[in-house]
Structure 1
Amino acid sequence: MALEKPKEVQESVSEIKEATIPVKQPQLAEEFDLEKLQQVLEAVIDQYRSQHKNLEVTVLKQPVFLDQETVTFKLNGEIQQDIFYKIKPEVLQVIRRKLNNYSVSMEAVIVEEEVEGQKKLYTSTDKLQYLKEKSPALVELQRRFGLETDF
């Protein structure tokens, strides 16, 4: 023999359960594309330009890629990355407000730039070799004057 709760108690328990279920308020998350993002970034760039913040403008003009709601800036080096992280909160707030989407996030990646598919010339020997290929007369000068490659 199982004891059953009176119907009044069962009804009040079910009313309490219904009342305690949290109702989620819809987050502002309008969809946007790269074109809308570029328009917002241009507005931010104009604002920084009017304040004569040229380094920030340079960072914001770097190539931007959009993956769902993540905006990724491809930066050239650590200096740009430092500037990016300095302005990130302000820019992110503006982007979220203007796009009406508060789940947008921003990232930065540093990419090494290759010039015309060639590696960068760092050492003196590499630079000399490049110049020899470009101008064969340099080989003759090196031979004639007995110039060394390690300078």
Structure 2
Amino acid sequence: MSIPTSLYHTKKILEEKAKDEEKRIEQRKAEAKVVEPVNTLQLTQTMLDEVMPKVLDHFRVEGKVLEHAILNQPIKMEGHEICLEVMGHVQEEIAQKMKPELLTLIRDLTGAGKLAIKLVVKEELESATNKLYTSSDKLRFLKEKHAALAEFQKRFGLETDY
């Protein structure tokens, strides 16, 4: 990118950026639009289970590792919706981007008509136990778990702090 030499040149660069952004937005809208086929065949869990290895193989061959990881989790059918479980916002964004491709792929493989994908965002649960940061905490935890360690500590005069 060059440094603008005049106000006119600056305006021209800004207009070009705006046009590029509009093109990107139009492409995203086109990708997001999915044409509903007229087929009346309803997708079932067994049909989905049969085609998922092919879908996973497609994403693996394409080199889409993150999408493959999302699809590698158990997938359930609820009515005409495929429920994908994602962990956090990063996987949610990736799943949103792959929805049109996934819908098209499943429709082509199964011939199912009315179909949708629902994302279920699950946050990672923090462990209920306390985090063991210091050496004293770790030793206390291990002594609770293994009673013989307390005897070793007494017999050999073991300490966590120097």
> Under TM normalisation by the shorter chain, which class is it?
0.5 to 0.7
- 1:95 aligned residue: 106
**SS in structure 2 of the partner of residue 78 of structure 1:** helix
- 1:65 aligned residue: 76
Unaligned runs of 5+ in 1: 1-25
Under a length normalisation based on structure 2, what TM-score does the superposition of the two structures give?
0.57
Structure with higher Rg: it is 1
- 1:10 aligned residue: none
Aligned-pair CA distance for 1:67 = 0.8
CA–CA distance in structure 1, aligned partners of residues 146 and 121 of structure 2:
34
Q: Which has the higher helix share?
A: 2
2:54 counterpart of 1:43: yes
CA–CA distance in structure 2, aligned partners of residues 135 and 141 of structure 1:
11
Judged with a 3 Å threshold, the aligned counterparts in structure 2 of structure 1 residues 142 and 54 are, in CA distance, closer, same or farther, namely farther
CA contact (8 A) 2:88 2:124 kept: no
Within 5 Å, which residues of 2 pair with 1:2-151?
Answer: 27-111=38-122, 119=127, 121=129, 123-124=131-132, 128=138, 130-137=141-148, 147=160
Aligned-pair CA distance for 1:141 = 7.2
Unaligned runs of 5+ in 2: 1-36
**SS in structure 2 of the partner of residue 124 of structure 1:** coil
**SS in structure 1 of the partner of residue 40 of structure 2:** coil
CA contact (8 A) 1:74 1:108 kept: yes
CA contact (8 A) 1:76 1:111 kept: yes
**SS in structure 1 of the partner of residue 103 of structure 2:** helix
Judged with a 3 Å threshold, the aligned counterparts in structure 2 of structure 1 residues 122 and 51 are, in CA distance, closer, same or farther, namely farther
Aligned-pair CA distance for 1:122 = 5.8
Aligned length: 120
Judged with a 3 Å threshold, the aligned counterparts in structure 2 of structure 1 residues 119 and 35 are, in CA distance, closer, same or farther, namely same
**What letter corresponds to residue 119 of structure 2 in structure 1?**
A
